[in-house]
Structure 1
């Protein structure tokens, strides 16, 4: 881990943030020796950093597995940064129920200036690694990305949409634009996730009293287990959950 020599920064603070970034980039909990190998920090110093970050709630240490992952304090910061504290508070119980009822991973995606990001996750019991965690930016052709591209006001997403479209071939652009009509009609988007092979997802929108998109409720799992149609029993269950959440924010279907 390289240190920038600059009198205007606090290097120890920078190192602590770099450790958090390192764990976030890997997308799964890391053991001490893995962090040490990736960071290049001496063991004695790394112990101090990890202990401090854990005590502050910025990292979480699983004592049984002896691994480190992102801490709950980062969720609080994320909620404050996205202005989505009320939304996350209301959606979290639904994420828990959906995951328990379906044995799939449920997550909430919200909009930021960099595009849609994961704001909260409730993982299924079988330990599926979806290759993403809280704070992960989601691409246009993810199911969450499709929901934001379809329902979010173009004023807010224009630059992100153009940037994302430039990354995909013309054939996929046309396919996506045609698919948007069905997404708008059914309030349902499906995608074979570009982040991890053999993993798929579907997403449904959450609206407020002004019919503005608040977020996307997304279900993730192995492709064979994730429904591709809004008519599926699981899809209908999640759509009803999204409707209840939306109504709690004053949404009234047209």
Structure 2
């Protein structure tokens, strides 16, 4: 089919989306100077764009640090697009309780056609750089990625394509090690990853399942490596597993099915 020529576009809207993409693709909130450097937009125009996007709720400006991150309205749109609005509302109170109980950062992650992404974060330690923010896609060898690789059965074609793409990035030894690890993850409903994104920051993840034993989402605990347990039998691990089990039951999950 011949491509349509001379398609009319709204340049200012395109620029606004470009700014959102720049912020979404970085693993930390950005300062004005960083956004300007990455976008090439003049100072006067960038101020207008950032003010407009902030007022619309598509961006959030932290007045203490002068940084910009994705705003609540943007997150609402993303939630609607991936069908996770109800999941976020149901899981968020648990994220809060988990962070309070463990003094660590808790994440909600859901599936998209490009892999698992962070849908919500409850930060217990604002000085900790976890190497990701809302909207970040997580790799296979993260704790979250391992949970999705093991428990996410639908849509099957997307899962297979994602796993093949991610496995191609690993060495033969890493692939063999992961194959062994999958068996234990399926048995314990628990996955651990040592420093997958940021040095000295590790995580573990547990699944939230529905009445068909299909994966709805996962809860991930993130913190300094020495503070994150790597076994499901740890007291902290058991608390998070208990929360995930309660959430699974709310989606109709019954063990032993």
Superposed pair shares fold, TM > 0.5: yes
Q: TM-score, normalised to structure 2's length?
A: 0.93
Residue equivalent to 1:170: 172
Q: Any residues of structure 2 matched to 1:56-75 within 5 Å, and which?
A: 56-75=56-75
Task: Single out whichever of 18-27 and 95-104 deviates more from structure 2.
Answer: 18-27
Residue equivalent to 2:186: 184
Q: Secondary structure of the residue that 2:119 maps to in structure 1? A: strand
The correspondence for 1:204, drawn from 206, 209, 214, is 206
Residue equivalent to 2:81: 81
Q: Any residues of structure 2 matched to 1:82-161 within 5 Å, and which?
A: 82-153=82-153, 155=156, 156-161=158-163
Q: Secondary structure of the residue that 1:69 maps to in structure 2? A: strand
Residue equivalent to 1:234: 236
Residue equivalent to 1:3: none
Q: Answer yes or no: is the 8 Å Cα contact 1:143–1:193 preserved in 2.
A: no
The CA distance in 1 between the partners of 2:168 and 2:34, in whole Å, is 36
Residue equivalent to 2:3: none
Q: Secondary structure of the residue that 2:120 maps to in structure 1? A: strand
1:50 and 2:40 are equivalent in the alignment? no
Give the deviation of 1:7 after TM superposition.
4.8
Give the deviation of 1:18 after TM superposition.
1.1
The CA distance in 2 between the partners of 1:253 and 1:83, in whole Å, is 25
Q: Secondary structure of the residue that 1:180 maps to in structure 2? A: helix
Q: What RMSD over aligned residues (CA atoms) do the two structures have, in Å?
A: 1.3
Task: Single out whichever of 46-55 and 34-43 deviates more from structure 2.
Answer: 34-43
Give the deviation of 1:126 after TM superposition.
4.4
Give the deviation of 1:14 after TM superposition.
1.1
Task: Single out whichever of 234-243 and 96-105 deviates more from structure 2.
Answer: 96-105
Aligned pair count reads 249
Q: TM-score, normalised to structure 1's length?
A: 0.94
Q: Answer yes or no: is the 8 Å Cα contact 2:204–2:220 preserved in 1.
A: yes
Query: Any stretches of 5+ residues in structure 1 without a counterpart?
Result: 1-5
C-alpha distance after superposition, 1:63-117 (max 9, x if no partner): 2322221101111011111111111111001111111111111001111111111
Residues 70 and 126 of structure 1: CA distance in aligned 2, closer, same or farther (over 3 Å): closer
